[in-house]
Amino acid sequence: MRMPLSHPLRTGTASGSPSRSQGLLLAVLLLSSAPTAQEPDAPGLFLANCAPCHGENGDGHGTTKLDRPARSFRDGGFSYGNTPEALFRTITGGIPGTPMPGFDTSLSEAERRALANYVTTLGPARREVRTEETVLVVEDRPAVAFGLLGPISPRAEAHPRGLLIGTTSGLSFEYRIDDVRLLGIRQGEFVERTDWTGRGGTPLKPLGKVVYLNEGGNPPALFRSVHDGNAVPLIARFERSWIRNGHAGLAYRLFETRDDPPLLRVEEGVDGYGSRIGSGFRRHFILGEVREACRLAIEVPRTGDGEKLGTFFTVDPDGVYPARSWKIVRRPEGPVECVGAVLDGAFPEGVGGHLEFALPAGSTVHLYVVTVLVPEWNEEVRRGLREVPFP
């Protein structure tokens, strides 16, 4: 806040020597605008927290050896968005599956905002971005968009009925909703709609970069019902999307066959997750309106084409929730997926990402699944997973 300071000073000198009251006013202004804790020292914060990887002048040549180079800010061209808001989100949540950590807990919001602005000054002058009317931006609340989605990966298919949920963490969650399944996650700007007049079939152009692919973008059903040891994939029929208190998600009903009445209702909430060890995302499922007693099974994550690195349990640091079950899978040419799950209201059987549990008629159960994506699996990550908060 240097701007108002020059003002009384100039009027003072223009009219001769400053009056006593003007002098006092000046002193008060000088005192109140002296650099204080309220004004973060962005260059200093950058040197301390970012320069080891990004280099002192932001050229990407820091002192820390990385398998994957940190971004040079000097040539611009940000993959995850170059607006101060997008940069703020990247700095807050980190980038899943890369060494770029989240500073959510280690730096204050004011410090992260100051760094976001500072990073923009390191690059070439930013051309004035004309915000197209067709671009939907997530600001301080989540947003959703429905429409046709192109294939999220070369191995995946297009989905005429797609849904994108943009969260304030800067991650967007891409779903098919003909039979509800999470296809993958993007980071960066939200979405461009190529046609605002069409209803339903409007093609969507997601703007973020894919940071996570669920089973190559072609995932099987998440929930299965178990009869005599046989697991039958359940059909998930979309009901609606929702935005509430800064959170967003969707609701659907699970069916055993197209003709049966629904077995239960699922409300799923999604959000980003960032921490020192790595970033990723959370899914919170509320399983309710259970029509008749049943047994459900889920596998998070499925090993698929990946390599299983381990399974284990951790206990809730607060001792409130049951043990979390973890499964670690390395994807070919991808990050390491560390997936933890915990059930509240039901007792799971099974180990290592495979959870099987009974749901009495009329019961409600909460399932929390956290996915942390890290470039490498090591002891430090394993220790860090113990601290991951669940609900």
Residues that bind ligand HEC (CB under 6 A): 49-50, 52-54, 64, 66, 68, 70-71, 78-80, 87, 90-91, 95, 98-101, 103, 115, 119
Q: C-beta of 94: minimal distance to ligand HEC in Å?
A: 8
Rg, C-alpha atoms of the chain: 25
Q: Is 178 exposed, middle or buried (0-12, 13-18, 19+ CB in 10 A)?
A: middle
Residue closer to ligand HEC by CB (options 80, 173) is 80
Q: C-beta of 70: minimal distance to ligand HEC in Å?
A: 4
Residue closer to ligand HEC by CB (options 112, 253) is 112
Q: What values do phi and psi take at 109, rounded to 5? A: -60, -40
Q: C-beta of 191: minimal distance to ligand HEC in Å?
A: 17
E-assigned strand segments in the chain: 135-136, 143-149, 159-166, 171-176, 181-187, 191-193, 204-206, 209-213, 224-227, 230-233, 235-244, 247-255, 264-274, 279-288, 294-299, 307-314, 324-330, 336-344, 354-359, 365-374
Q: C-beta of 4: minimal distance to ligand HEC in Å?
A: 29
Residue closer to ligand HEC by CB (options 101, 269) is 101
Integer angstrom CA distances of residue 254 from 3, 61, 163, 258: 59, 51, 18, 10
Q: C-beta of 289: minimal distance to ligand HEC in Å?
A: 42
Residue closer to ligand HEC by CB (options 108, 134) is 108
Q: C-beta of 211: minimal distance to ligand HEC in Å?
A: 8
Q: C-beta of 108: minimal distance to ligand HEC in Å?
A: 12
Q: C-beta of 208: minimal distance to ligand HEC in Å?
A: 10
Residue closer to ligand HEC by CB (options 253, 331) is 331
Other CB atoms within a 10 A radius of the CB of residue 224 amount to 20
Residue closer to ligand HEC by CB (options 33, 72) is 72
Residue closer to ligand HEC by CB (options 72, 363) is 72
For 382, the 3-state DSSP assignment is: helix
Structure tokens at 214: 């669920």
What length is written for the chain? 391
Residue type, 293: A
Q: Backbone dihedral region of 310: left (phi > 0), alpha (psi from -120 to 50 degrees) or beta?
A: left
Closest CA to 149 of 79, 237, 208: 208
Residue closer to ligand HEC by CB (options 70, 300) is 70
Residue closer to ligand HEC by CB (options 185, 236) is 185
Residue closer to ligand HEC by CB (options 57, 64) is 64
**Does residue 301 have a cis peptide bond before it, meaning omega lies within 30 degrees of 0?**
yes
Q: C-beta of 222: minimal distance to ligand HEC in Å?
A: 28
Q: Give the Cα separation of 375 and 370 in Å (integer).
A: 17
Q: Give the Cα separation of 16 and 105 in Å (integer).
A: 51
Q: C-beta of 69: minimal distance to ligand HEC in Å?
A: 6
Q: Is 318 exposed, middle or buried (0-12, 13-18, 19+ CB in 10 A)?
A: exposed
Is residue 271 within 8 Å of residue 281, measured between CB atoms?
yes
Closest CA to 237 of 191, 294, 179, 306: 179
